[in-house]
A = this chain, B = another copy of it.
């Protein structure tokens, strides 16, 4: 099991890339998909969810694409997660017990509910702009690396 679904991490990667490109004009989903090496159709579906949640504005036709409805500075990672995976991760019992809570806790309840808060705080704290800055300043990555990419990286120390 991973922490986040694939759809969710694709959505996050796309959002960070969009934040890097600024939020002046609409950015075509096809271009984002090409940059991230993802299926454009699939990414379209994922970003549609962000549009429906009001996180993105979309525009059809030539010069169309998507852009954030607010400054990326103000958008926190948890908003992307909430729109795609939901907040279950930050709210549910680790043992999946429905009635788990202070009144009727599971044996992990106390430890896990403490931990959930920390995890949630992490996602609430990171803004897209900050993550975008990380990427640019430190030359961080958004794409998975193929063997070829790794060779390339070793030469240029950058992707």
Contacts and interface: CB of A to CB of B under 8 A. Distances in A.
Interface of A: 1-6, 8-9, 12-13, 16, 77, 85-86, 88-89, 92, 94-100, 104-109, 111-112, 115, 118-119, 122, 126, 131-132, 134-135, 138, 140-145, 149-150, 153, 159
How many copies the complex holds: the figure is: 2
Nearest to A147: B99
Given A1-B3, A118-B118, A98 B145 contact: yes
Contacts of A145: 97-99, 104
Nearest to A95: B9
Contact of A2 (B1, B12, B138): B1
B3 A105 contact: no
Given A104-B153, A126-B108, A131-B108, A99 B141 contact: yes
Contacts of A5: 1
Contacts of A89: 1-3
Contacts of A149: 99
B104 A159 contact: yes
A94 B141 CA distance: 13
